[in-house]
Structure 1
Amino acid sequence: MSETSKQNVSVVGLARENVQQLTPYQSARRLGGNGDVWLNANEYALAPHFELTAQTFNRYPECQPKDVVRRYAAYAGVQPEQVLVCRGADESIELLIRAFCEPGKDAILYCPPTYGMYSVSAETFGVEGRTVMAKEDWQLDLPAIEQALDGVKLVYVCSPNNPTGNLINPEDIRSLLETTRGKAVVAVDEAYIEFCPQATVAGWLKDYPHLAILRTLSKAFALAGLRCGFTLANSELIDVLMKVIAPYPLSTPVADIAAQALSEQGLALMRKRVAEVSETREWLRQQLEQCDCVEQVFTSESNYLLARFTASSSVFKTLWDQGIILRDQNKQPGLSGCLRITIGTRQECQRVIDALRPLPGATSTVRETSSASKEPM
């Protein structure tokens, strides 16, 4: 190859083949939009206020900030040695794959429709992403999962599930843990557990050494911009993850704010937010059910609602044009016609309802089509 040819070779060609073919996760911020009502990322609508207390920015931070670990352990009802703090639950997803899956050999398993980062993270590391479709009620298909476990090292279960909002039957999770004992790690993603704390499986850690639980401060704690998450597991599993985590995963300001958010006052504020969001979610559900263009609103135990719409693409664009940004779920298996709506402020949710009310439903659409067909050519 001539020197000129070498200079013209794209650097993309040097990337790993699986990375060249990778479609990155389409986060809310990557998808963009010019709205003023952002209901597409399951964030809390209002920013909490914090003052930094730590000023030691000239020093590297602790790998596992003691105050954060201790306070989160107390909050979650586990021991400090059962807590790993990291850069959001997304890093927990990646750490588990890096620690337990051999690229080109092992697989992860997850059950669509569910959170998209499981597949993207696996593909990034050259690990097979194996799927077993959830049942029609979005519960686990346990017989199908059991048949698909050959070569699987890691199973992801999201409960409450994103984007559907439903809890996974706890007895099904327990059955899965029994089936995978000695074979694979089961990671239960509890990013939204603050909205249904009674459903956590944190109390099961003593019974299952292969159970990992993913948590975050991004949702109920209103700290999506902080990027702080947790893995709860037995100390043996935590020790494995400590081998592959970055040396300084949390910056000093992040650890400072996280510790404040986990104080008694911070926890009280979080619970107040949860009560407010839950009340607004119920109000929005009732209002959506009165809109002609809404075919179904699904039960949710989280900070969002999934709904099926008549002409959902048109609904999505109509709201987009009015500055109301929702999350389109049409491409998810089994979610044709579905949009996900984050629970914002009451005023933001009222904007949604005001924009939806004039839109026609399935009956109106059929009637208009029928009338049009009778007109002379």
Structure 2
Amino acid sequence: MSQLVKNLLCSYVKALQPYQSARRLYSGGQDWLNANESPFANDYQLDSSKLNRYPSCQPSSVINAYASYAGVKPEETLVSRGADEGIELLVRAFCEPGKDSVLICPPTYGMYAISAQTFNVGVEQVALNDDFSLNTDAMCALVGKVKVVFICSPNNPTGTDVPAAQIEKVLNAFADSAIVVVDEAYIEFSSAQSWASKLAQYPNLVVLRTLSKAFALAGIRCGFTLASAEIIQALLKVIAPYPLPEPVAQIAAQALTDESILHIKQQIAILDQQKGKLLYNLLEMPQFEQVGDSAANFILLRAAQREGLMNYLVSQGILIRDQSKQLNLQDCLRITVGSDEQNQRLLEAIQRFYQSEQA
């Protein structure tokens, strides 16, 4: 780092450790099973006649379609560059830098903390219980001390749904003092009911959604924030002028047609079948123990010889995610459910590694 950058860089940015995304950690691989992406790639059409114009900030074709899909009103819907931008907007709109804090419940998605730290906003932590449910008593002890509460359900990386009664308790406790964000990036893989239907009941409730997972569109970076019209209007004050590129808007609108949604549901059913098969085969091996649950498109396992196994899989072009640095996830690996062929190559590689270690 040059002396100029050292002198000018914000103090809180100097200490910031960036989020280690799948692409930052590894630049190559044959089987990407470390980013919770879909193995499916669907076809879409692009109309280039509009590419010479700036896009709409909130294109009605996308807003109306997603509002209908989620069962909310268009005025309760905001579209952004992935749900990650939704997280950032909430921090920027509701937290004073150097003064306010957010609350997270590790082990959970790392961008909640990093988004806050990027804007010099504090981070309070209340660890999940041993069964990965919320420690609601400890959370409620922070009423008046935080402005935004992040709850991931289904949770990444534990794959667990947060019980509805626990979320209700937190919503009620923070009713007059904080926004409560329920991140539902993986809701399509869960049997739990979405919180989107509760927006009118809880004015401080915000729901995050994405097209990256079940809709197999991680590459277009399109996410949604669902909240009261008042909260949406506050976020529109801090969003970029043109957050959604025209090609992204076109693809998102196509993905949200009735025909496409039916196709996506069929793909989800296939992935659920593949997940059950993969989990069964892995748990047949004595070296693995399931951790958490499987209410998402990934599974979390505690693995014998974790580091050696990770290194071997990388050498074979198979990339999964090491979660062992997360709180209470020692020796844990997260595996995205891939295609049948990818899952089979993974299983064969794991078997080869443990057989070689026993030889």
Q: Could you say which TM-score interval applies, normalised by the shorter chain?
A: over 0.9
1:324, 1:207 → 2: CA distance? 45
Show the counterpart of 1:289: 283
1:337-348 paired onto structure 2 within 5 Å: 337-348=331-342
Show the counterpart of 1:138: 132
Residue 202 (str. 1) matches residue 196 (str. 2): yes
1:198, 1:106 → 2: CA distance? 32
Residue 178 (str. 1) matches residue 172 (str. 2): yes
Encode CA deviations 1:153-189: one digit per residue, 9 max, x unaligned. 0000000000010100011001110000011000000
Which stretch shows the higher mean deviation, 119-128 or 313-322?
313-322
Show the counterpart of 1:70: 64
1:12, 1:267 → 2: CA distance? 49
Residue 334 (str. 1) matches residue 343 (str. 2): no
Contiguous gaps of at least 5 residues in structure 2: none
1:227-306 paired onto structure 2 within 5 Å: 227-296=221-290, 298-306=292-300
2:114, 2:188 → 1: CA distance? 26
Q: Pick one of 218, 225, 243 that aligns with 2:219.
A: 225
1:240, 1:83 → 2: CA distance? 12
- CA-CA distance at 1:297 after TM superposition: 5.1
Q: Pick one of 46, 51, 55 that aligns with 1:57.
A: 51
Encode CA deviations 1:61-83: one digit per residue, 9 max, x unaligned. 11100010000000000111110
8 Å contact from structure 1 (residues 140, 172) kept in 2: yes
Encode CA deviations 1:115-137: one digit per residue, 9 max, x unaligned. 00001001100000110000000
Residue 163 (str. 1) matches residue 157 (str. 2): yes
Counterpart residue identity of residue 355, structure 1: A
Show the counterpart of 2:119: 125
2:184, 2:8 → 1: CA distance? 38
Show the counterpart of 1:30: 24
Counterpart residue identity of residue 159, structure 2: G
**SS of 2:148 mapped into structure 1:** strand
Residue 153 (str. 1) matches residue 147 (str. 2): yes
> How many residue pairs are counted as aligned between the two chains?
357
8 Å contact from structure 1 (residues 292, 360) kept in 2: no
Identity %: 48
Counterpart residue identity of residue 46, structure 1: F
Show the counterpart of 1:98: 92
1:86, 1:34 → 2: CA distance? 28
Which stretch shows the higher mean deviation, 280-289 or 28-37?
28-37
- CA-CA distance at 1:26 after TM superposition: 0.3
Residue 192 (str. 1) matches residue 189 (str. 2): no
Show the counterpart of 1:215: 209
Encode CA deviations 1:211-243: one digit per residue, 9 max, x unaligned. 000000000100001010000001011111111
Classify 1:139/1:260 alpha carbon distance in 2 versus 1 (closer, same or farther; 3 Å).
same
Show the counterpart of 2:10: 16
2:249, 2:234 → 1: CA distance? 22
- CA-CA distance at 1:54 after TM superposition: 5.2
**So what's the TM-score if we normalise by structure 1?**
0.92
1:256, 1:296 → 2: CA distance? 40
Counterpart residue identity of residue 136, structure 2: L
Counterpart residue identity of residue 61, structure 1: P
**SS of 2:254 mapped into structure 1:** helix
Tell me the C-alpha RMSD between the 2 structures: 1.5
**So what's the TM-score if we normalise by structure 2?**
0.96
8 Å contact from structure 1 (residues 292, 357) kept in 2: no
**SS of 1:230 mapped into structure 2:** strand
Encode CA deviations 1:345-368: one digit per residue, 9 max, x unaligned. 01111111111224449xx98xx9
1:12, 1:256 → 2: CA distance? 42
2:250, 2:259 → 1: CA distance? 15
Q: Pick one of 42, 45, 61 that aligns with 1:48.
A: 42
8 Å contact from structure 2 (residues 158, 291) kept in 1: no
**SS of 2:219 mapped into structure 1:** coil
1:233, 1:9 → 2: CA distance? 44
**SS of 2:46 mapped into structure 1:** coil
- CA-CA distance at 1:60 after TM superposition: 1.1
Deviation >6 Å, runs of 4+: none
1:105, 1:84 → 2: CA distance? 27
